[in-house]
Structures are given as C-alpha cells and as structure tokens.
Structure 1
Amino acid sequence: MAHGIAAQGLEIPIYIWYDSYPTHSGEGYEGRVSRVSPDSPYGLASLNLTNIRESDQGWYECKVVFLNRSPNQHKNGTWFHLDVHGGAVIMVPPTNQTKLEGEKVQFSCEAKALPGNVTVKWYREGVYVKEVAALETRVTIRRDGSLIVNPVSADDSGQYMCEVTNGIGDPQSASAFLNVEYPAKVTFTPTVQYLPFRLAGVVQCYIKANPPLQYVTWTKDKRLLEPYQTKDIVIMNNGSLLFTRVNQNHQGRYTCTPYNAQGTQGSSGPMEVLVRKPPVFTVEPDSLYQRKVGETVEMHCDAQEAEGTQKPNIQWQRRDGSPLQRNRVRANGGNITIEGLRRTDFGFYQCVASNEVATIVTATQLVVEGTQPHAPYNVTANATEFAVTLSWLPGYSGGPDYKQEYTIW
C-alpha cells in the first residue's frame, strides 16, 4: 500500500494492492498509478506514477500490511519525497493598452514554475527593451515580471512580448499592443514650396496624428483661408492643400494647423509659396535615329521656363531604366552624343526637363543597324487538347533588309 500526506497531515492511500484482490487507485490517481512490472530492477512493491502534476509533489510512504497479523504499533513503511519540476507558465499575460503621450504604462507578465527561479525578458517589436535606445532611460522590469514604461512617447507604440523561462522546456511568451495617442502635430515645415502656373499643384502639410487626423486649418498671409468657399482650392484627406489650377494670386505665406480627437500641438512654421511656370521644350530630338554599328549619333534637346528667366535641369535616360555607358556618352547642355554604337544601344531614349514645379519628357528611338536580330517579345502560348499555338512579336531584325528566321524547340 502506498499513501501520501495531505495538507491536514492525514494519510490518504493513493494505491492499494492485495494479492488476488482488485487494485485500488486513490482519487486523482486513477489511470496514472500502478506497480512496476515483475522484471523491473526495482522492488516488487515499487510504484510507477505517470502524467506527473504539480499537485503530486510531496512525501510518499510504501507500507506493507499483513491481513492475518495484528497491526504493528510501529511504522514499517519507507518514505520518499517527490520533487516535481516543470517549465515556466504565464498565469497573468499582458493585455492591449491605450495611453496618452506622457502617461505611464504597465504590462503584467506573472509566471509560475517549479522550481520558481523564473527569468522574465521583455521585447518591443522583437528587440530586447534594454537594447532599444529610445526606451533605455524610461523602462523598468519589476521583480513580479511586469514592464513599466514611464513616460510613454508617440514612438513607443507597437507590440510588446514577455518571455519567461526557468531553464526547463521551451520558453513561454505572450504579447500585447501599446497604442500611444497624442494631439496632431506638424513634423516638418519646408520654408519654400512651389506651385506650377496654370497646372494643378499641392502645398504639403507634413502631419503625424494618433488618433487619425480630423481636420486642418490653413492661413494665407496671416488670414484664415476658407478653401470650401474659395475656387480652385481643396483640402486633401492628408491635410495638404490642393490647387486645381494655379494662378499668381495663390502666391503667399501659408501656415497649417492639424487637429485630431486629442487636439493639436500647434501650427506649422510659415511656408513661402511661390508660383513658377513649368518648363517647355524649345528643341526636341528627332522621333527616330538610324545608325550603323561603330558610328556616332548626336541627339538634340533643349528647354526653358515659359518666361525664359531660368534654365530647367535637362537629363537623358533610357526608357527601360538601363544605365547609359558613360565611357561612350558625352552630354553638352541638352545634347547627347553616343560614340562607337553597339547592338545594346538600340532602344528608346528620353530627354527629361524639370524645375521645382514640373517635369516634362520627350522620347526618341535609336536603331542600330548591322547587328544580330533582337529577341522576340510578347510571347504567348494557347494550349488545346491536342496542340499548342505560339505567337510573338518580332524584335528588330538587325538591319532594314535582313530577313529573320525562327527556331522553336
């Protein structure tokens, strides 16, 4: 017979075995307790306990009783103590929280383990909080495992995860999200912004807000601007000011003030808005240039602002994004010269003219003759039950009189 000692000090049998009688398992031990097999190296009365629980920890006595003898006055049992070890388990996990900027937040992470030497670590977005420079002076991990951030800032929003372990089994973890709210604020104020004359343009108000932005007020030359009563001006969802058709009267000094449910942190600095005319091409390249391999091609392009007061920036680029071969390419103003033409120079080129308010593009094609044929494109396949039909568009043949032949394999 084996029994344990309950909290009141009473002996509670957990397993009773009498030869030729059915065995008895105590409450809570059904299906988990049995004698060892006869060929076990342990004694025949040894006990096998499975599916160990925390409540199984304690003292156990193996006691032999003879039914045909008077009970002994002295104890004849052997005592054993069972220590139950188990990995850490989170009993009180952290929960999602919303705080105002400047307040204190505390996340719980209460864990239980056997033995109880639990180590708790906290991570923000996967990075250990002690290694997050922005949190270093504001974060505390308490002895009970909870995390305190005091005071919270707008950039502290994110996922926080606690990880617990006592060295047994895999670490356990639980996560919660911190949402930090703050009044809407302007994050950046450009001193000068430009609008394109007679085109659509935008004056940006760079805003950060949580909860989301509700509305923005604007001033022009220190007077409140009422865009809903002003033709050609609309406040966009992000708070910026859209001018559907810019004129000279839109030039001036502007400020913006954003608001959300928490209010505002103030207005932007003054932004000088200047109206500029977009560039126009005065010289455009030919629509097509045809040259032979090894020859040189010069393509012309020039632009100016509409009133001719300033020169826009002019650059050449390949339409497919591949780089120009600088060792064979020379630029002179808006003109470009490519020497020693090769098969790879074949393609479309763009002349790009830009100023502060607009970018304009014109394109030309360069055909390099006397080369191998170019690969076909727009290749498609149409399959039926018994056949496949292939179709494509031919690439450049390599010369005006060259005939292309195709091999399919």
Structure 2
Amino acid sequence: EKWHKTEVQACVSVRSLFASSACAAGTRKKSLLFSIIYYCFCFSIYCLPLYSSAPPTFTDTPPQYVEAKEGGSITLTCMAFGNPKPSVSWLREGNLMVSSAKYKLSDGSLTVLSITRQDRGAYTCRAFSLQGEAIHTTRLLVQGPPFIISPPENITVNISQDAFFTCQAEAYPRNLTYTWFWEQDNVFFKNDLKRRVSILIDGSLIIAQVKPEDAGKYTCVPSNSLGQPPSASAYLTVQYPARVVNMPSVIYVAIGLPGFIRCPVDANPSVTLVKWKKDGLFLRIDKFPGWSQMDDGSIRVAEVTEDSLGTYSCMPYNALGSMGWSPPAPLVLKDPPKFSVVPGGEYRQEVGRELVIPCEAEGDPFPNITWRKVGKPSRSKHNVLPRGSLQLKSLTKEDHGEWECVATNVATSITASTHVQVIGTSPHAPTNVHAVASSTWANVSWEAGYSGGFQQTFSVWIKRERLGPHDWLSTAVPGGQNWKLVSGLEPETTYQFSVLAQNKLGTGPFSEVVTVNTLVFPTSSPEPLVLLTPPRCLTANRTQQGVLLTWIPPANHSAPIQHYVMEFRLGERWEILDDSIPPVDTMFRAVCQLAQITWLMWYETPNASFGRTTVQLSLVF
C-alpha cells in the first residue's frame, strides 16, 4: 500500500490469498508431487480523494522598508497560501483600509496614489482564514523636502546677552543641512554677526553677546536637496539703554523762524526722559520764554534769536537707563532761504505737452531746490532745471494735482505750492465716498474728482459683500449730481458701493469701496388691546327747563377723556346735540319739544372713540 499527498488519489489494494499466504502477485508455482497451482490476485476495491488543512502563509510580500517620492505612487503586493484559501486585507494604524481616491485595493495589492508626507508609516498586510492568520508589516519611507516640526519663535533679549532660536525639521533622507538668514543675508555673510553666530546639529541658532544692530527677522531654511526647502522666521528684539546716535557736530537754526534743537536718540524700550546741557550747565527749558520740550526730547524754540547761541549736549533715558551724554555741539545761527521767484497758483496744460513751472531761491548758504508732488507721487519723468524750475516734458494724467517747490539749506526748509491741471484726460476717481443705509435703501454721496477738462457723469456700482468680484451691478446717476439713492436692498445685508466717473474720453478709475449694513426691517407692534367701558348709568329726567341727562364716568379708560359727545335720534336719523361736553361734567340739560327721543352718549380719547351707550325716553307734553 502506498499513500499519496492531497489532490492525488491513493488506491487501497486488498490481497486475496486462495491457497497459501506465501503467494506473490503475478507468480505461479508448480509442485512435482501435487498438481496444485497457487494464484495470488490483487483486487482494487475503491479509491478515496484525500484533503489536508493548512494555516495561511505568505508566498509574496513587499520589503520591510519601501521608499517612494513625494507626489508619486507605489504598489504593495501580498500573496498568501493556505487551506482553505485565506483572504488578504490591508491595515494602517490598526484600521482596515478600503478603496478610495487615495488608496486602491485589488487581489491583495495596495496602491497609494499622490504620496504626501502624511502617507509615511507602517502598512500591515493580513492573511486570514479559519485555520489562522499571518501578518506582515511594511514601512513606507517618503522621500521629500524637510518638514519643520519646531519653528523658531520671537524672542526679546537685553544687550550683551545670548539669543537662542530653535529650528528642528524631519525629512527622508535625513541628510539635513540648516541655513540661517538675517533679513535677506546669510548670517555667515554679515560682517560682525558672522563671528558671533553658531548653528547646532539640530538646527538651532545661537547669537552670542547680541548688539542692537542684530535685531530683525531671522529665517531658518532646512534642506536635504529634495524639492523646495521650507522656511520659518522669527524676530529678535534687542533691548538696550537709550543712546545718542549721529549727533551733528554743528547745530544750524534759522534766525527769526521757529527752530528745533534735536537729540537724535536710539532706544528700546522708548525714551522716557531727555536731559540737556547748555554751555556745560544743566538747561532749565522753562526759564526761556517760547521754549518747550517735545515728546521726543527735542527743544522747540518759537522764534530763534541770539539767546539760542551756545553749545548743547543731551542725555536720553529709558527704562534700562542711559548710555551717556552726547558730544557737545555748538549752535550757529543762519538766515533762512528766500524765494526770489515763486510758482503761480495754478497751471493748465494739455496732456502730452511740456510744462515748465518757475521756482528760484537764494540764501547763505545757497539753498538746494527740490520738487515733490503732494499725495500720490507721480511716476512720470520730471526734471529740476539748474535754477530750480520744474520741467514736465510730457504731461500725463498722474501729473495732475498739487506740487511743492522746496528750498533747503543747513538751517531750514521753505516751500511754495502750485496746482497743475492736466487737460484732455479721462476723469479722476471720485473721493470721500459715503453711504448711509436704511433697511431697504442706501444714500450714496461723493466728491467729484477732476473732470479731465470735459463734462463728466457718474454711475454707482453695488454688490453684496459675500459675492465675487464679477457680481457688481451699476446704476446711472442723473445729471451731474453727486449723490444717488439706491433702493431695493435687502434688510440686514452687507453691501459694497463704489463710484465711477466717465467723460467723452472714457472712464476713470473706481473710487474706494465703502461697505455698509442695511438695517433690520421695522415691524409695527400692535397696540395693546384695552377693553373700555362706556359712560355708566345714563338717565334722563323731565324738568320744567327740559330734559336733564346724568351719568357716571366710565370705569376703565387708559387714556384721558378729551370730551363727551351727546347725540339724539329722531326716527332713524342721529343728530349731534353737543360734541364738546367737558370731561369733568356728569350732567347735561336738553330742551326738548318732541314726544319721543332716543339719547346716545359717548366720549373721545386722543386716539379713538369708545364707549357708546343709549337710553330711550318717552316724554309726553
């Protein structure tokens, strides 16, 4: 007999012995004495299929560590064998994974798409059947730029102390290098600072014995040569006692004009006090008429005279103290500059043409003349001619507005202003836009900008704040008025408004955008219902002078009674007998000649009429 492994049929043979147990299959033996033949036969009775049970075992697994680049994809494959056939699933952090836009599972394979740093970690393949389970774990290592896990934080230190910035990053591969920048410069390329900085192996930065000049923004940039390296910044604040910086060797002031004697101070925290000396003695500023000390410690002289002559020094203080006195500086009186030619009040010129505005000054020392545009600066090219005049070679729309000629010498500066109108342009933007809203409308007003030399019209643009930039709607403004009532708004809604000007050459720029909230829609609350009673106990008695009517005032009335009204009816028609009976009266006499009259009495309050009551009398004459 022989047994074979599963899936192979094993035949069981039964040996039948007819004559002797010494029979061999397929053998025949003859005897000389007896003619007896022995036969041995093998009969195949039946065949049985045999199966064996086996727990799950892996036939193919991914490596223990797998690398993938950030932004790419990877497939992990697990194949398992067992009887019965095991099912294969994937787990991450103990949670069963299912197919999604990020993960694809099929026949034991797991595909991770669009790999990010968050996908790194352990992935577990699990083969399970009734005979048991098998587990295999693979760790995914994501190759990519570093990720800063401990960024630097803002710090404040006193002068001469050490400053410490942390900067720790994670990355794979881990060949990290750290670079630190002060503002835009590498710290090792900055003079003086490079000798006092150290970068530790974990990325931290140490600045030894900080100076005021070390203050600023420090940026950490870790790199492993993969992708775009991240960065993180923090600010160093250096506190130090107040000090004088760049004190002039000579102080010049203009005689006869207001002047300043300044103490150029640098301090952190801010200066709290500045002391002065004049000619070596402490200066009592309050002893000089017209002298005062400014918030920054400077001395203001209302009118400079020869009393200001002398040698000055200052010493500033803050919460940390002072670094000492400034070098003494003599004060010298100088005549202020004077304009010999001043510009006119206004100049009008067409766009694209040249315009020259005269301005000349004189003085000792000779003043320097510059020009500046008030408000928004002009980007067009302009020149200052040798004697100080302004030359605008080709006027542009931006040249429109106020210009100042400034004459400066060591003593002071003086200015002269003029206005330039550039003709032949589109309108300028409206200014000072205001909007006042109710629940369903808004009144928008503005000041018109320069028209460009042509008649201009306006339109108001509106949108709800929550809508996008393409949802503006416009409404025209009739005539040349500078206001518009915008109706049809929703209550309790935020709206934005802007105004646009237009002339025959085109539209100008939009005004600034103003935002308003419409009000809650008013709801009229019903007046409280007050149940009023009529005048009580109205009676009529015949007397020789007529009919005497008497009554008692009503029992309940929230508003004061203005007057009573007495009516009577002749048949079907009511007539007013008296509509102004004083509220204090409780009787009324009527002269009647009819046999039958119906009387009606009621009273009025400030808001309504209440309380009608009647009594019918039959009078016989």
In the TM superposition, what are the counterparts of 1:379-398 in structure 2 within 5 Å? Answer: 379=451, 381-383=456-458, 385=476
* Pairing of 1:2-401 with structure 2 (within 5 A): 28-32=93-97, 44-46=107-109, 53-56=119-122, 67=131, 82-87=139-144, 88-168=146-226, 170-278=228-336, 313=366, 322-323=382-383, 356-359=410-413, 375=423, 378-379=450-451, 381-383=456-458, 385=476
RMSD: 5.0
Q: Give the paired residue count.
A: 330
3-state secondary structure, aligned to 1:273: strand
Q: Which has the higher contact order (CA 8 A, sep 6+)?
A: 1
Which residue is equivalent to 1:294?
A: none
Structure with the higher strand share, 1 or 2: 2
Displacement, 1:178?
A: 0.7
- Corresponding letter in the other structure for 2:411: V
Provide, for residues 231-268 of structure 1, a one-character-per-residue CA deviation record: whole Å limited to 9, x for no partner.
22222222221111222111101101111111111111
Unpaired runs of at least 5, structure 2? 1-55, 62-77, 346-357, 374-380, 396-402, 426-449, 460-475, 482-502, 506-621
Instruction: Give SS of 2:231's match.
Output: strand
**Cα pair distance change 1:2/1:140, threshold 3 Å:** farther
Pairwise CA distance, 1:133: 2.9
Secondary structure of the residue aligned to 2:188 is helix
Instruction: Give the letter for the 2:258 counterpart.
Output: A
Tell me if structure 1 keeps the 8 A contact 2:93–2:122: no
Other structure's SS at 2:193 match: coil
TM-score where L is the length of structure 2 = 0.43
**SS in structure 2 of the partner of residue 191 of structure 1:** coil
Give 3-state SS (helix, strand or coil) of 2:93's partner: coil
After superposition, the C-alpha distances for 1:272-318 in whole angstroms (9 at most, x for unaligned) are: 0123344567x778989xxxxxxxxxx998867xxxxxx55267888
Inter-CA distance 183–114: structure 2 relative to 1 (3 Å threshold): same
Deviation of 1:107 (Å):
0.9
How many angstroms apart in 1 are the aligned matches of 2:119 and 2:136?
20
Deviation at 1:230, TM superposition (A): 3.5
- Structure 1 residues 303 and 141: alpha-carbon distance in aligned structure 2, compared to 1, 3 A threshold: closer
1:46/1:54 Cα in 2 relative to 1: closer, same or farther (>3 Å)?
closer
Q: Would you say the 8 A contact 1:140–1:149 is kept in 2?
A: yes
Structure 1 CA distance for aligned equivalents of residues 217 and 344 of structure 2: 56
Contact (CA 8 Å) 2:457, 2:477: kept in 1 or not?
no
CA deviation map 1:349-395 (0-9, x unaligned): 99987654345578999xxxxxxxx94684262337486659xxxxx
- 8 Å CA contact 1:15–1:26 kept in 2: the answer is no
Unaligned ranges ≥5, structure 1 = 5-13, 39-43, 289-298, 305-310, 337-341, 366-373, 391-406
Q: For 2:408 and 2:111, how far apart are their aligned partners in 1? A: 85
2:277–2:283 Cα contact (<8 Å) kept = yes
Amino acid across the alignment from 2:285: P
Whole-angstrom distance in 1 between the partners of 2:91 and 2:141: 19
**Structure of greater Rg:** 2
**Structure 1 residues 361 and 145, CA, compared in 2 at 3 Å: closer, same or farther?**
closer
SS at structure 1 position matched to 2:327: coil
* Residues 269/389 of structure 1: CA separation in 2 closer, same or farther (3 Å cut): same
Q: Judging changes above 3 Å, is the alpha-carbon distance between structure 1 residues 168 and 363 closer, same or farther for their aligned structure 2 residues?
A: closer
Q: Name the CA shift for 1:19/1:160 in 2 (closer, same or farther; >3 Å).
A: farther
Q: What amino acid does structure 2 have at the position aligned with 1:90?
A: I
Note closer, same or farther for the CA distance 1:176–1:246 as it changes in structure 2 (3 Å cut): same
Aligned residue type for 1:56: A
Q: Percent identity?
A: 27
Deviations 1:138-177 (CA, angstroms, capped at 9, x unpaired): 1111111111111211111111121223345542332221
Q: Is the 8 A contact 1:195 1:273 kept in 2?
A: yes
Taking the aligned partners of 1:246 and 1:121, their CA distance within structure 2 comes to: 55
Tell me by how many angstroms 1:226 deviates: 2.1
Tell me if the contact between 2:89 and 2:108 (Cα under 8 Å) persists in the aligned partners.
no
